[in-house]
Amino acid sequence: MIAMFRLALFGLAGMTIMYFLVSIYSRSTQREELEKAWDAAQGPGDREEFIAAGMAAYEKGLRKKLIWLVYVIPTLAVLAAIYLLNFA
Amino acid sequence: MRYVKWTLFTIVAVLLVSFFHYTLPQHDIVRIVGTENRRIDFGENSFFWASPDVGTSAGTNRDVRFINAERPNGRIIVYRNEDTGWGWPPYFKLDSSNLQAESQALVSTDKANPVWVSVTHYGWRNEFFTIYPNAITVTQVEGPDVRIIPWFNILFFIFLAIILVMLWRMWAQFRERTIDPALESIGDTIDEVDARADGLWARFRAWLATWTGKPRR
């Protein structure tokens, strides 16, 4: 049991690191897209405000929620492996 | 320098290939000829053995289950049958007792009516270290010529490539958006300081020149 908890702990730590890295990356690409969109169209409105509004929409959007898959996919993979290799 | 580079490259490549060849699952079509339990005292080969059954305690030695088999070409192969539990490699194998019973049910010593099985395993057989591949699952197959497509390994390498590309993209994005602007701003600051110093220095030189009687420029 201790070995299982150790695996869970290290797995959780690893997935948390990945979650933060992917979050930072995703936010950065989103901001870059917004900047390029404004620079190409020179609008609408003020550049800073346009980017701020776009980032606020991103924080509520689906793409940010999909980053939780970083936790879901490895957990499901481990559960599937345990089932398929031992009980299937 | 070129030789050093290529030597290092070769060493890294050999290590990586060996690592994956040892750790990833492979399939053997064999005929199981017997199963047994042996006590093993682990020595300098202990690195190549997995863990005691999940929930039992670890000692300096323990009984290990073995599966003896013969390949279609008549050469023999011996597998160990050990739990990997929650440790490395991540096969989460908890059922070595069940696997031993399955193997015993598939023992085929009648050469006229052989029962062929596909043994999924990882690891190597090496006589110099007394190490054995660890059997993961045993399934009965039609015959010795069945073609088994290693789907898991294909998906694994595709997934690994996706992860590596993703990490590389993340690093490129970080460099482009965070490191480069920071370096640029440092560069700008240095340039400014430099320009200001040049101005001061020029004025100082001009002032010195007033003492030597040279005309001011």
- What pLDDT digit, counting tens, does each position of B35-63 carry? 999 998 888 888 888 888 887 877 778 89
Residue numbers of chain B with a pLDDT score lower than 50: none
Peptide bond just before B89 cis, omega within 30 deg: yes
Please write down the HEC assignment for all residues of B85-152.
CCCCCCCCCCCHHHHHHHHHHCCCCCCCCCCEEEEEEECCCECCCCECCEEEEEEEECCCCCCCCCHH
Chain A partners within 8 Å of B95 (Cβ):
85-87
Taking every pair of Cα atoms in chain B, the longest distance, rounded to a whole number of angstroms, is 116
Can you tell me the distance from the alpha carbon of B98 to that of B148, in angstroms, rounded to the nearest whole number? 23
Q: How far is CA B196 from each of CA B24, B191, B193, B202, B207, rounded to the nearest angstrom? A: 62, 9, 5, 10, 17
Tokens 């096969």 belong to B91
Chain A residues touching chain B at CB-CB below 8 Å: 1, 3-4, 6-7, 21-22, 24-25, 28-29, 31-32, 78, 81-82, 85-87
Residues 6+ apart with CB under 8 A from B94: A82, A86, B54, B83, B85
- Whole-prediction pTM value? 0.79
The dihedral through the CA atoms of B169, B174, B175, B177 has a sign that is positive
Looking at residue B216, its pLDDT comes to 58
Looking at residue B200, its pLDDT comes to 81
Looking at residue B56, its pLDDT comes to 81
Residue B119 CB neighbours (<10 A): 24
Q: Look up the ipTM and state it.
A: 0.83
Q: Which of B54, B136, B173 is facing A85, going by the closest CB pair?
A: B136
Chain A partners within 8 Å of B92 (Cβ):
78, 81-82, 85-86
Chain A: nearest CA to B192, how far in angstroms? 27
Shortest CA distance from B55: residue in chain A: A1
Per the structure block, which two tokens stand in for B134? 């660890």
A6, B55: Cβ pair inside 8 Å? no
Looking at residue B20, its pLDDT comes to 96
> What's the whole-number mean pLDDT along residues A64-87?
93
